[in-house]
A and B are shown apart, each in its own frame.
Chain A
Amino acid sequence: GAVVSQHPSRVICKSGTSVKIECRSLDFQATTMFWYRQFPKQSLMLMATSNEGSKATYEQGVEKDKFLINHASLTLSTLTVTSAHPEDSSFYICSAPLGSLHTEAFFGQGTRLTVV
């Protein structure tokens, strides 16, 4: 099946620093990618839709300046958590759609961010 690679799988950073998470579609092109956040024992919450060559679309309540998204190529989207704080600690997951109707979504392995 289609492969979406996310890196890093785990990261620990100090408060006030920024962290970049990469999401790559390895064997297909993705003009759209999605970024989710998942709290322990909860469902996936869509943060934003990443659009290749244009601005990302953020969900209501998600801070654009806090979570910077860049989709510079058809195979790479990045999420940068700026000025991270302990409350930003979470599991972040990306996905990319595949298929003629662009509905089958494949997910990355996820990134466990811990801000200390």
Chain B
Amino acid sequence: GENVEQHPSTLSVQEGDSAVIKCTYSDSASNYFPWYKQELGKGPQLIIDIRSNVGEKKDQRIAVTLNKTAKHFSLHITETQPEDSAVYFCAAITRMDSSYKLIFGSGTRLLVRP
């Protein structure tokens, strides 16, 4: 089955700097890779996603890149702000017969220092 590894587990950056979180997956058939932001005591919020037919996607300060050959994808946050502080999860979709499920990485706790 699919296995998703995420690094680093914690990341501390100065406000205004960039933050990069990396994930690898094992199932070459996976074709959808979302990223979620989770604030304390709340459910995960989808912030960006990418499908396997593109290599990069950008939405304002957030971008995601995908390398299908190497089976890894990354989240890039530029010009970080204190409100970006949260736990970020990557995920990959795996299909089983007619159903599917998301497999999550272990999470990255991002701290943006003012």
Which A positions have Cβ atoms within 8 angstroms of B? 1, 4, 6, 32, 34, 41-44, 46, 49, 57, 93, 95, 101-110, 112
- Residue in B closest to A10 when the chains form the complex, CB atoms: B41
Could you say which of B13-21, B66-74, B100-108 contacts chain A?
A: B100-108
Judge whether B44 is part of the interface by a CB distance below 8 angstroms.
yes
> With the chains together, A104 CA to B104 CA distance in Å?
14
10 extra interface residue pairs, beta carbon distance < 8 Å, beyond A42-B106, A103-B32, A106-B46 = A42-B107, A43-B106, A44-B44, A44-B104, A93-B43, A104-B49, A105-B46, A108-B43, A109-B43, A110-B41
Judge whether B89 is part of the interface by a CB distance below 8 angstroms.
yes
Residues on B with C-beta less than 8 A from A105 are 34, 46, 102
Check B104 against A43 for contact (C-beta < 8 Å): yes
Partner among A32, A104, A107 whose Cβ is within 8 Å of the Cβ of B44: A107
Partner among B43, B99, B109 whose Cβ is within 8 Å of the Cβ of A107: B43
The total of Cβ contacts below 8 Å across the A-B interface reads 51
> With the chains together, A57 CA to B32 CA distance in Å?
22
Residues on A with C-beta less than 8 A from B46 are 1, 104-107
| Nearest 5 interchain pairs by C-beta | A107-B43, A110-B43, A103-B32, A43-B104, A107-B44
Partner among A41, A103, A110 whose Cβ is within 8 Å of the Cβ of B93: A103
Interface majority SS (helix, strand, loop, mixed), chain B: strand
Which B positions have Cβ atoms within 8 angstroms of A? 32, 34, 36, 41-46, 49, 89, 93, 99-102, 104-107, 109
Check A32 against B99 for contact (C-beta < 8 Å): yes
Check B101 against A34 for contact (C-beta < 8 Å): yes
> With the chains together, A107 CA to B32 CA distance in Å?
17
Residues on A with C-beta less than 8 A from B32 are 101, 103
Q: With both chains docked as a complex, state the minimum distance between the C-beta of A104 and any C-beta of chain B, in angstroms.
A: 7
> With the chains together, A41 CA to B109 CA distance in Å?
9
Check B99 against A49 for contact (C-beta < 8 Å): yes
Residues on B with C-beta less than 8 A from A46 are 101-102
Are A107 and B101 also in contact (CB < 8 A) when A44-B44, A93-B43 are?
no
> With the chains together, A103 CA to B43 CA distance in Å?
17
